[in-house]
Chains A and B, each alone.
Chain A
Amino acid sequence: MRKLTLAIAVIAPMLGHAASAEDTVKIGYIDPLSGGGASVGEGGLKTFQYLADELNAKGGILGHKIEILPLDNKTNPQESLVQAQKAIDAGAHYVTQGNGSSVGAALEDFVTKHNTRNPGKEVLYFNYAAVDPSLTNEKCSFWHFRWDASSDIKMEALTNYMKDVPSIKKVYLINQDYSFGQSVRSDARKMLGAKRPDVQIVGDELHPLLKVTDFSPYIAKIKASGADSVVTGNWGQDFALLLKAAADAGLKVNWYTYYAGGAGGPTAIKQTGLDHQVFQISEGIPNSGNQAAMDFEKAFRAKVNLSLWYPRAVNEMHMFKAAAEKANSIDPVKVAAALEDMKFEVLDGGQGIMRKDDHQFFQPIYISSFGKLAANEPFDEENTGWGWHIVSRVDTPQAMVSTTCKMTRP
């Protein structure tokens, strides 16, 4: 009896999938769609599906329709490799992924090995959010392209902003104890030390990833250190709980963050009432002032009912189209060649470039703060009534870093 139940559960939804035409461009979307990371993964999926619909409405890429294959990896590297294999079986020559640098590293390795072992059946990996610098440095691969600014680029942009803010005197670093958090911490030390030697780093904390339920002891330390600014790469509950504990204890500092805008972040900031004291480094914000981007945001919100958290996904898909048209082919090898050193006008305005040396996309970076909105800022977040406000824009040349990548080309 139970077996039957299962058979139905497995077979029934299969019947609904219509066979898709051969000439569609299939993109395997490999991200968590269940479990803890699902809220983020679902947002990404909706974004990519919206973009596919948008491009398809305009005739697709070189006449090919785009199809996004949602594949659930549960933020697990092994599972991601299985899903990548599934995508390849389904005829995808492109996979895209963003959540988790460990997944990103596994996928980059997988794609590289797959392409060496299966010449003629190459697969490209478009990375839209895994920000570990090693992916475009020691682990770099010809088959990997990254549209998100890696964590060192964001830190370069942030420190370029901070060096002109004299009120910053004592900085406290608190990060999650894993590769991303560690690179934020070491980059911050290195870059701040070079650009603002007078700034004192009064604390440097690594805490375990997603395991801390009470941040009060950390807040007590921050308070004792006399810091005026905190730099953190925390996301998810580690960010929300950190901020709540800070607000409870009455800690008054400025927060420089990577992911304050992530799911639940804006809600947490609003709860704590830290008006324009939480800053975020990102490659674009809803209230950017760029008319085209704001129109896009409006249409996106109307249809998807989410704010556009991944402007880089828009850049990725639009640039993919441009590269395919430049190469006049949807063959991954030709698209990869066309993407190298390609210049591109990004969604929020300004020119970006996909550097040939390491396949990292460089673009203008924004420092924005979260709080009450001005009249010309129409977009709030998570129905809080508060939204992002541009504090500074760091142009592409000030947001570039060097690479150690020695790429092997086919």
Chain B
Amino acid sequence: MTTAATSTSKMAAEPAGGLRFYGVWLLGILVLIVLPMIFSSGGSLTSFSLIGIAIVFALSYNILLGQTGLLSFGHAVHYGLGGFAACHMMNAVVSHGWPIPLPFIPLFGGLGGLAFAVIIGWVMTKRAGTVFAMISLGIGELVASSSLILRSVFGGESGITTDRTALPKMLGWSFGPQLQVYYLIAFWLVLSAIAMYALTRTPLGRICNAVRDNPERVQFIGYDPHVVRYIAFCFAGFFAGIAGGLAAINFEIANSAYLGAIQSGLVLFSTFIGGTAFFFGPILGAILVTYLQLGLTNLTTAWQLYFGIIFIGIVMYSPGGIAGLLMMHRPLIRAGTLWTVIPSYLVAVVPTVALACGVILAIETVARFSGGDPINLFGIAFIATSPVTWLTAAILVVGGFFVARLAWRRIAEAWDKAATVARDRGYLA
């Protein structure tokens, strides 16, 4: 599984690497096929569809952030324009009677995202870093605001609706039921993921990494970093447009909310939490963030706070994201020293969980202080106004914090030992 964007050629040359590599992809496809058979309720189908869209979107964002080192605050612009392009295309297909079935529509979404990237990208990618970030912020705001002014194209704030079942049928599928839409999204997910993965293995993908790490040296070897950034930007816009097209098919509506800062923030969030250094990072992040967004909002009104805390936690303690955290263990597994760390992990679980429970209890206590339901933590009901609750929360937070700190120090020691051994055995740590 040589998915590391920064992996060395040594790993790719490993024996049986090819088999394992294809195995992972096949497994992924199999999971996508089987998933709706296990969880078949309408809600889980909708969730899976949304997660699929979010994965494509996050992967496209990682072409910018992870691959090329461009921090964008306006990536949703391409997503949204892709959505609008797809919606307009669907309506045009219906009204003109063109023989284009629904599964081809996301391609037009992609072209919509690409078109804007081609037009705007050249001036945007002149510089990297803060200048690019700020231009993307400005462009994002501009497009979102303009979408409300150009009503004939964007339909004002109520947006443009469409009917996906009105398009020509393909293989007898009307795409009315969510299940068929799910498979459509899964198909495009696999297709885009393979395409984007392949992109990282091309010379272009490599030179993107070089532009990210050291643009001057790229210039010395005869490439123009500006051109490289521009091409990467166009690819990112294209795949974001595909994600937007899929969203338009799923919701049968495109409106200005697609283009806005919230959507841009979410994709940054997903990608970073998942981990930008590895291809599968954004996938994990998109799954987690979409799941949280769908699940957490129904459980607590303070979901935004949990989002913020998780984000701060990841930035501070694991800047490589979830993927980085997981991949840290790879040398240990290879060296066979992982087992020396596990006991200290297990020891750390108890105080860490206690700390987490304390924090949750404290947050919910404040959130529900002025009335509201009692808090249920593992079936134990806590009343927000009762001093017992405050005391429990305080003990859990303070106690959990100090014990967890000791336990995590132990992990660090055990980790150092295991990593030293792994390094001695010739595996990079």
Contacts and interface: CB of A to CB of B under 8 A. Distances in A.
Which of A8, A12, A34, A74 neighbours the largest number of chain B CB atoms within 10 Å of its CB? A12
B310 to A, nearest CB: 6
B50 interface: yes
A200 interface: no
Given A4-B353, A38-B301, A85-B46, A178 B255 contact: no
Contact of B379 (A3, A15, A76, A82): A15
B157 interface: yes
B165 interface: yes
Interface string A96-137: 000001100110011001000100000000000000101000
A77 B252 CA distance: 11
Contact of A6 (B41, B43, B50, B292): B292
Contacts of B343: none
Interface stretch (B15-23, B230-238, B370-378, B413-421): B370-378
Interface in B364-392: 373-379, 381
Nearest to B356: A5
Interface residues of A, number: 47
Interface in A4-54: 4-6, 8-10, 12-16, 33-35, 38
Contacts of B375: 13, 16
Interface string B299-342: 11111101000100110000000100000000000000000000
B377 to A, nearest CB: 5
B306 A89 contact: no
A179 B314 contact: no
A109 B356 contact: no
Given A71-B298, A109-B161, A77 B255 contact: yes
A260 interface: no
Nearest to B349: A4
Contacts of A77: 158-159, 251, 253, 255, 257
Nearest to B313: A2
A72 interface: yes
Given A106-B253, A109-B252, A117-B176, A89 B356 contact: no
A86 interface: yes
A88 interface: yes
B158 A9 contact: no
A343 to B, nearest CB: 31
Nearest to B353: A4
B165 A178 contact: no
B403 interface: no
Interface residues of B, number: 60
Contacts of A13: 299-300, 375-376
Given A4-B353, A15-B378, A77-B255, A9 B299 contact: yes
A185 to B, nearest CB: 14
Nearest to A101: B158
B177 A117 contact: yes
A17 B306 CA distance: 21
Contact of A12 (B165, B178, B314, B376): B376
B100 to A, nearest CB: 21
Interface string B251-281: 1110101100010000000000000000000
A132 B352 contact: no
Nearest to A74: B297
A1 B157 contact: no
B252 A113 contact: yes
B39 to A, nearest CB: 11
B215 interface: no
Contacts of B352: 1, 4-5
Contact of B381 (A2, A16, A78): A16
Contact of B257 (A8, A78, A117, A177): A78
Contacts of B314: 2
A34 B301 contact: yes
B310 A2 contact: yes
B32 interface: no
A178 B377 contact: no
A226 interface: no
Interface in B129-160: 145, 148-149, 156-159
B299 A14 contact: yes
Contacts of A109: 161, 252-253
A89 B43 contact: yes
A208 interface: yes
Contact of B356 (A4, A72, A85): A4
B357 interface: yes
A88 B42 contact: yes
A159 to B, nearest CB: 25
Interface string B167-196: 000000000111000000000000000000
B283 interface: no
Which of A35, A82, A110, A211 neighbours the largest number of chain B CB atoms within 10 Å of its CB? A82
Contacts of B298: 70-72, 86
A86 B178 CA distance: 13
B426 interface: no
A8 B301 contact: no
Given A34-B297, A34-B303, A106-B159, A178 B148 contact: yes
Given A16-B373, A178-B148, A105 B158 contact: yes
Contacts of A72: 297-298, 301
A12 B11 CA distance: 42
Given A9-B306, A82-B294, A106-B251, 12 more contacts: A8-B377, A10-B295, A10-B296, A16-B381, A34-B304, A35-B304, A70-B298, A82-B50, A89-B41, A101-B158, A109-B252, A117-B177
17 contacts: A1-B349, A2-B310, A9-B296, A12-B360, A13-B299, A13-B376, A34-B301, A71-B298, A74-B297, A78-B251, A82-B294, A85-B43, A101-B158, A105-B158, A106-B251, A109-B252, A113-B163
